[in-house]
């Protein structure tokens, strides 16, 4: 925008001030006649300038531009209409200027609606109806008291009378639209909209003054109406220059103040209609009053609909969608209310219930079956509670109960009863399914007298019950420190993945014949920023509870494959084994993920060994077997981990093709003194040889055990007798010093103070 255009508002203000000064100072001819240069040229010049300034302002309004364009167009059309009228039809009752004058009004209606709508905090019909009620009510009052005077002076043809009546009607409608536009902005317009409305009201006052003076035949050039017209147009034109570039929606006032004007308007309309039954009232006023009440009635209907919707929304916000029980928010409110009863000497207990084995149901039968099970168990809980008790679903497979007027001993007894009820088989997907439950109990006032403490203590007790597999656990303050430690770790575990705190150590697999490392097993460690290096037994339960097993597996896979690429680049020909958690085998995207990972790092698929346990194959044998076949078809090696401790390993050996069998460490313990153990290991060696599979014996911790295994024909071993898990660089240094069957003399002790004994293995996920 040029500097000249930026100065347009200033030029308009100066011209208006000069015009008003001249109007006040000029000496008019006798009878109040016109002064051509002032009343015709100067007056119309200011009108035209107002339209031009409004259009220039619209071009810079950004977000508000459509509304201000319409304002500029309306002012410009009005200016043209006045020029046509004074120049061509000054004394005519009807003229071609009338359609132009009347075109000003619908444009202003549209402009006000556009600008109000863009500022509305909410665009609901209810707010617009509030404005309509207010606007129509005010219009009805104005029509009742002003219109009779205007109509009394109406004369001429029917067309002339109709046109003359159109002006006050249009002004009345403009007032109604202005009030209707205020409602959506909470009756608090911003600066630009307030100035616009003020300018339009000033113009409306000028119109009414002119019509009243015309009806009384007292209008003269230079009268008050002329001053108000110019002032109204100029104020309206300048409003667009105050428009913000980005409008912020305005919040509505409180319910009482926001409905005050609509209520007053509806009341006034009723009064007008009552008066109309006793004495003559102008038909226009009666019609507007009737419209006001109609809009008010419609508003009441919307109010009831909004109230119903609000009630339903509040109910939905506090209700669990699946079970229709109260949700966490509602349950916390119930606990708060129960806390308030403590001052009356009452007691209550909080029970937190976490289902055991629910994840396996979801993984095996699908989420639909899991949802059906949750809904059924919600009904079981409701059936076993008193009418004064409360039950809620906090989320996932976690429920909560409030036992009112219950002492601690009774609460523990009832918790056992609830656990027994939940353990009963439930019919889901044409199957009888039963799950266990771990329940934590806290009591008020024994354990606390506030919601936060009671919920936290019940959660601590629930975790203790799950950890100890005791079913029910009452909060004990002495165990709080260790549980607080667990809670802190539980909060840290999610951040551990984002901060790359999960690292991988590697334990070698030794070829006894060649006397060298032929492979490694990737083992997860948590490099905690304040606690140091943590073993899996310290964080795997937290990973499982947070449903992060698959994320852990993929994190280890990423690290292992990248390490494979580094070793291949250095000419080290080792395989790397990664344990696959049961949920991973049910994830049909795993084969694609592994293939992409290998391709991205340019690693041969045969160098990656994926270790699975027989437990992984039991949950959903068909899906798991399909995943195993796809992985093996892609070239990766498959190892059956912890062989010999399950109940179906031989079946899987017959139906699935494995590259490797890892004999569980419990079968290789104390072989030098265990004849039956040697027989089992020897049989396993023969079985693996017959099936064309590689046998790895885990858990070898002594030289005597190593020699016993070698004597039985086993070639590959893994255990602390040779090396503990090490970081990659330390493992490379150790491997270079390995010679024959001699144990490495390089220190292989990780920096932590305590460590598990024996070979690291887990039947569930990444070895610990």
Q: Catalytic positions, please?
A: 698
Q: Which helix (H) or strand (E) holds 697?
A: strand 694-698
List the structure tokens of 394: 């906090």
The pair of three-digit structure tokens given for residue 580, joined into one six-digit string = 């696959």
For residue 400, give both structure tokens. Answer: 């909560």
Angle, in degrees to the nearest 10, between helices 8-25 and 43-59: 160
| DSSP letter, residue 471 | S
Phi-psi region of 187 (alpha: psi -120 to 50; beta: other; left: phi over 0): left
C-alpha to C-alpha distance for 290 and 278, rounded to whole angstroms: 16
Q: What is the rounded CA–CA span in Å between residue 219 and residue 221?
A: 7
Half-sphere exposure of 532 (CA within 13 A, CB side): 6
The answer to whether the Cα torsion of 388, 394, 396, 400 is positive or negative is: negative
Which residue(s) pair with 523 in the sheet? 505
**Which H or E run contains 62?**
none
Residues in CB range of 355: below 8 A, 6 or more apart = 377, 397, 398, 399, 422, 435, 436, 437
Using the structure block, give the residue that is written with the tokens 């009004």. 105
Strands, DSSP E only, in 462-616? 472-474, 502-511, 516-528, 532-534, 575-579, 608-613
φ, ψ for residue 709, nearest 5 deg: -65, -45
Measured CA to CA in angstroms, residue 547 lies from 28, 368, 399, 553, 579 at distances of 91, 18, 18, 12, 17
Residues 336, 453 contacting (CB under 8 angstroms): no
Structural contact between residues 349 and 443, judged by C-beta atoms closer than 8 angstroms: yes
Burial classification of residue 332, based on how many CB atoms lie within 10 Å of its CB (0-12 exposed, 13-18 middle, 19 or more buried): middle
β-pairing, 436-444 with 472-474? parallel
* Angstrom distance (rounded) from CA 47 to CA 12: 10
CA distance 239 to 5: 16
Q: Hey, what are 576's tokens?
A: 């790397």
CA distance 73 to 60: 15
Q: CA separation (Å) from 134 to 283, 294, 711?
A: 19, 12, 101
Q: How many CB atoms lie within 10 A of CB 737?
A: 10
Neighbouring CB atoms inside 10 A of 379's CB total 13
DSSP characters over 739-755: BTTBPP-S----S-S--
The residue whose two tokens read 């339960």 is 541
What phi and psi values does residue 175 have, to the nearest 5 degrees? -60, -45
- The closest alpha carbon to 552, from 521, 544, 638, belongs to 544
Contact criterion met (CB below 8 Å) for 768 and 762: yes
Spatial neighbors of 721 by CB under 8 A, at least 6 apart, are: 700, 701, 702, 703, 705, 706, 743
Q: Which helix (H) or strand (E) holds 219?
A: none
Contact 392, 325 (CB under 8 A): yes
Through-space distance between the first and last CA atoms of the chain, rounded to whole angstroms: 71
CA angle 412, 414, 416 (to 5 degrees): 75
How many residues does the structure list for the chain? 768
């Amino acid at each position: 925008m040029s500097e000249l255009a930026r100065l347009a508002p200033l030029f308009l203000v100066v011209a208006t001030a000069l015009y008003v000064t001249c109007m006040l100072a000029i000496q008019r001819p006798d009878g109040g006649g016109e002064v051509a240069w002032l009343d015709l040229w100067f007056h119309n010049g200011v009108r035209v300038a107002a339209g031009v300034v409004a259009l220039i302002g619209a071009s810079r309004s950004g977000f508000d531009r459509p509304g201000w364009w319409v304002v500029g167009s309306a002012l410009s059309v009005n200016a043209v209409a006045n020029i046509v009228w004074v120049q061509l039809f000054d004394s005519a009752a009807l003229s071609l200027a009338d359609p132009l004058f009347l075109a000003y009004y619908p444009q202003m209606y549209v402009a006000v609606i556009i600008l109000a709508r863009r500022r509305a905090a909410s665009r609901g019909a209810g707010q617009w109806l509030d404005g309509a009620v207010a606007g129509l009510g005010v219009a009805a009052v104005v029509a009742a008291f002003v219109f009779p005077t205007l109509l009394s002076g109406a004369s001429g043809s029917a067309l002339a009378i109709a046109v003359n009546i159109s002006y006050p009607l249009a002004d009345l409608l403009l007032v109604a639209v202005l009030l209707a536009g205020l409602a959506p902005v909470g009756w608090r317009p911003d600066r630009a909209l307030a100035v616009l409305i003020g300018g339009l009201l000033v113009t409306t006052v000028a119109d009414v003054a002119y019509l009243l003076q015309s009806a009384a035949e007292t209008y003269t050039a230079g009268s008050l109406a002329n001053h108000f017209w110019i002032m109204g147009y100029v104020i309206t034109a300048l409003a667009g220059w105050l428009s913000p570039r980005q409008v912020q929606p305005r919040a509505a006032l409180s319910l009482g103040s926001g409905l005050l004007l609509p209520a007053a308007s509806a009341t006034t309309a009723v009064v007008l209609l009552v008066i109309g039954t006793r004495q003559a009232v102008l038909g226009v006023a009666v019609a507007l009053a009737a419209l006001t009440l109609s809009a008010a009635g419609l508003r009441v209907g919307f109010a009831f609909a909004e109230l119903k919707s609000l009630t339903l929304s509040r109910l939905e916000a506090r209700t669990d969608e699946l079970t229709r029980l109260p949700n966490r928010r509602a349950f916390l409110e119930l606990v708060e209310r129960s806390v308030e009863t403590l001052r009356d000497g009452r007691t209550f207990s909080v029970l937190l219930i976490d289902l055991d084995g629910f994840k396996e149901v979801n993984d095996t039968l699908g989420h639909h079956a899991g949802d059906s099970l949750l809904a059924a168990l919600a009904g079981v809980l409701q059936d076993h509670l008193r009418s004064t008790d409360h039950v809620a679903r906090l989320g996932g497979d976690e429920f909560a109960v409030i036992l009112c007027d219950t002492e601690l001993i009774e609460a523990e007894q009832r918790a056992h009863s609830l656990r027994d009820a939940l353990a009963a088989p439930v019919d889901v997907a044409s199957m009888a399914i039963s799950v266990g439950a771990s329940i934590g109990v806290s009591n008020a006032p024994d354990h606390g007298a506030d919601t936060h403490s009671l919920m936290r203590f019940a959660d601590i007790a629930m975790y203790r019950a799950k950890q100890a597999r005791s079913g029910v656990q009452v909060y004990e303050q002495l165990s709080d420190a260790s549980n607080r430690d667990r809670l802190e770790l539980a909060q840290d575990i999610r951040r551990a993945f984002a901060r790359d705190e999960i690292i991988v150590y590697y334990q070698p697999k030794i070829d006894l014949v060649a006397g060298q490392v032929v492979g490694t097993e990737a083992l997860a460690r948590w490099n905690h920023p304040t606690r140091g290096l943590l073993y899996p037994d310290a964080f795997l339960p937290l990973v499982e509870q947070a449903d992060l097993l698959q994320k852990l597996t993929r994190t280890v896979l990423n690290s292992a494959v990248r390490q494979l690429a580094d070793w291949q680049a250095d000419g080290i020909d080792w395989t790397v084994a990664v344990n696959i958690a049961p949920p991973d085998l049910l994830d049909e995207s795993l084969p694609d993920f592994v293939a992409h990972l290998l391709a991205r790092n340019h690693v041969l698929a045969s160098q990656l060994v994926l270790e699975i346990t027989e437990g992984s194959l039991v949950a959903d044998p068909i899906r798991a077997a399909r995943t195993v076949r796809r992985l093996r078809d892609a070239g990766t090696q498959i190892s059956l981990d912890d062989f010999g401790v399950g109940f179906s390993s031989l079946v899987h050996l017959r139906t699935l093709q494995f590259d490797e069998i890892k004999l569980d460490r419990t079968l290789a313990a104390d072989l030098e003194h265990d004849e039956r153990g040697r027989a089992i290991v020897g049989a396993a060696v023969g079985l693996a040889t017959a099936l064309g599979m590689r046998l790895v014996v885990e858990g070898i911790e002594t030289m005597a055990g190593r020699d016993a295994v070698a004597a039985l024909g086993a070639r590959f071993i893994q255990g602390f007798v040779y090396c503990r898990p090490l970081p990659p660089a330390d493992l490379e240094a150790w491997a270079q010093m390995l010679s024959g069957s001699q144990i490495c003399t390089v220190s292989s002790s990780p920096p932590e103070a305590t460590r598990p004994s024996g070979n690291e293995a887990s039947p569930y996920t990444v070895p610990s």
